[in-house]
Amino acid sequence: MTTTGTTTTVEQAMRRALELAALGPAGGPNPQVGCVLLSADGEVLAEGYHRGAGTPHAEVDALSRLPEGAARGATAVVTLEPCNHTGRTGPCAVALIEAGVARVVFATRDPLPLASGGAARLRAAGVAVEEGLLADAADALNERWRAAIRLGRPWVTAKWGSSLDGRIAAADGTSRWITGPEARADVHRRRAQHGAIVVGTGTALADDPALTARGADGLLPAQPLPVVVGRRDVPGDAAVRRHPRPLLQVRRHEPAAVLAALAEQGVTSAFLEGGPTLVSAFLAAGLVDEVLVYLAPTLLGGSRLATTDLGVATIADQLRLDVREVRTLGTDVLVAARPHPAGTP
């Protein structure tokens, strides 16, 4: 990296740290974090990111790529406040202090009381600490993880693909494919950004889904946990049994109980794919944080609607949403929306 002034150099490093952070797994118990180590004259010494629970944190990953003593006097640019607790790994704040880092610039505070306090520990050791650089981008990267901490449950994204008249299948139950390849590729990309893919037993038995996240070259590196909700057994030869991760079957129907089971597995975000009964139960319970609807330019008619009873008896009870994104994907249209805040017009 060439130096074009201290502020510019550090901001470039933070943008790179955010890119690195996005390479780590999403939807698990840990946030996505990236780190870039800069020399006193602004050259990149090393980079690192967190690769998942039990692996070195981003700061330690970056430090491990340098010979002993090479980080003395360096600036650590990190997307999240260095942690201050010992879990599966030691405190990153201590690792930076012991490495002789002179300055730490981080984007946003750690919201976990157990892990926070790294900034104070660094300052107490004489390390210069600055915070807030590209904080909005860092918060957006870990939005679902932060929401799970705030809500005390996994973030839930409900997704379905339908015709323009809201049907997810023809009268005989066939549904492959309503949407086109571009829409399906987008679904797989978004699956990989969540900690679990959740379907009901009806969908699991009727469609035999693999519940994997796939790209043009096969399975994506990040694979969410496959989850089937319901009391009926999933056959031993079902496609989901060949998933890279073991199937979690939650033999409960209550949305809150399902989310509690996911939280026990360290899941902080869930991609809810169906069927209509399961999706509608979560919507009616107010436990959906985001809705993704892939609309195909076709009409099917019939009774196979994307949702069932949502508890809306009168128009005043409608579940209002705020549209956050509208995107064309091939011949289809994605509408991304979130529940309208209660109490606002």
Residues designated as active site? 59
Pair of tokens at residue 324: 């956050």
Pair of tokens at residue 61: 């990953």
Residue 269's DSSP bridge partners are 155
Residue 326: other Cβ atoms inside 10 A: 11
User: What gap in Å lies between CA 232 and CA 235, rounded to an integer?
Assistant: 9
Q: Which residues contact 218 (CB under 8 A, 6 or more apart)?
A: none
Q: Which residues contact 246 (CB under 8 A, 6 or more apart)?
A: none
Annotate 71-99 with DSSP letters as a single string: TTT-EEEEEEPPP-S-SSS--HHHHHHHH
Nearest Cα neighbor of 235 from 262, 272, 201 is 201
Residue 90: other Cβ atoms inside 10 A: 15
Q: Residue 66 — φ and ψ, nearest 5°?
A: -115, 150
Coil, helix or strand for 107? Answer: strand
**177: cis peptide before it, omega within 30°?**
yes
